[in-house]
Structure 1
Amino acid sequence: MALTEPYPLAFLNDMLAPIADCQLSLVRYEEQSGSRSGQFWTAQLAPPLWQAAITLGPRRWEEGREINAKVTALGTMKSFLFADPCYAPASGATAGGSVVIGTIATNRTMLSLIGLPAGYRITAGDRFSTTHSGGRYYFGEFVESITANGSGVTGQVAIEPPLPQGVVSGPNVRLDRPLIRLRVPQGSFTSFTFTPGGLATGGSIIGMQKP
């Protein structure tokens, strides 16, 4: 069956467990300049992108071989959807599938949410994702904490990175299992090594966000 990009969770993501660890970091593309007077300023050269460093746990040789083949098939520009199995919202509560974006601040660094369970607690460090124009994926992180009121609505809460212009009020938001679209740049995949006894070990992926 033909697959469309980004490749669905079932293509690669659901095969990656067990994962030994996963580190997500925001890579910023900025240039700093200064003057003899001691003034400094920073210019953003491109929007920031998330990087996911994923260490894969040992598994049966046939599973390792299949992952090797599928990452190879991606090349450097095709992408797959990734949901970090090491992640869960800090509150441990389930937000459900009815959450949408309410209002968005003019500078795109704050938003409100509608459709949460009453009293749902968002904690700084919780993550979320949404889709926008042209099937693009946004993946973000809350940088302050807030609690929904009895109607499941929050005030505006700060996020990083800023929302792209294509994100508007109304689209669904994933809080329980946020998705990030990743590609695997050249040299960023360490394939499994196969040892006597049928064990595959040593696999790792460094994925870069493809918005």
Structure 2
Amino acid sequence: MERLAQTEPRPRRHPASRHWRRWLLGGAVLVGVGSSLWFWSRAPVENHAEATLRQIATTTGLVLNGRLANLPSSKMAPIHRGDDQDNQAQLQLKATRQDLEQRLIRTPTPAGHRALGRFYLAEGKPLAAFAHLQLAVQAFPWDAGLQSDFGLALLEAARTSPEAATEALEAFDEALRLQPDLLEAHYNRARALEILGRPTEALAAWRAYAARDAQSAWGAAARDRAAFLERYGNAPAHP
């Protein structure tokens, strides 16, 4: 009996179960491939847009008093604008932004809203940037760089709507809660405090930023703002 028990063949699985397992495996592979194709079909457009933004930020500079996230090599825009190089950069920004708009009309995605919002900011159009970045933040609330860009749109809008500066500060605080070392959010937060008429806090924020980013043009600007507040702490801020 023991010998028979050892040699007794194991029960065979029903053929249908093998087909079912193969169907599941094949479906998972198709889903994975489909997801990858969906991602890569959209990534080149946004990657090209970001590359354009980076190239302009590192050569001509962007017409912004604040900092867009994820442009570590960016520089401040020149004081005098309107020459051929600046005009070419603005045309390049506009052309890329229009491509993004057309793509977003056909296939709206949070990542597309984010890219388009950043281009509107780079062109100096904060209200349009706010509309797109708000949609992106709703989809990716955990993204510190996106929170900082959203706050920057609010801060730029504060030129005509001062109450937006309070919401901007909240966005920068959230960005720094998510990523405490995010330089762009530190810089933009110092601007928000100054615009809100909180010179003591702004002075501390500018000093802290200058210590974190001592070698860049942004660090030099932070030192200038700190020196200004040390001397004229109660003077009105300039957004």
Q: TM-score range by the shorter chain?
A: under 0.3
Structure 2 length normalisation: TM-score? 0.22
Structure 1 length normalisation: TM-score? 0.24
Per residue, is there more strand in 1 or in 2?
A: 1
- Of structures 1 and 2, the larger Rg is shown by 2
Per residue, is there more helix in 1 or in 2?
A: 2
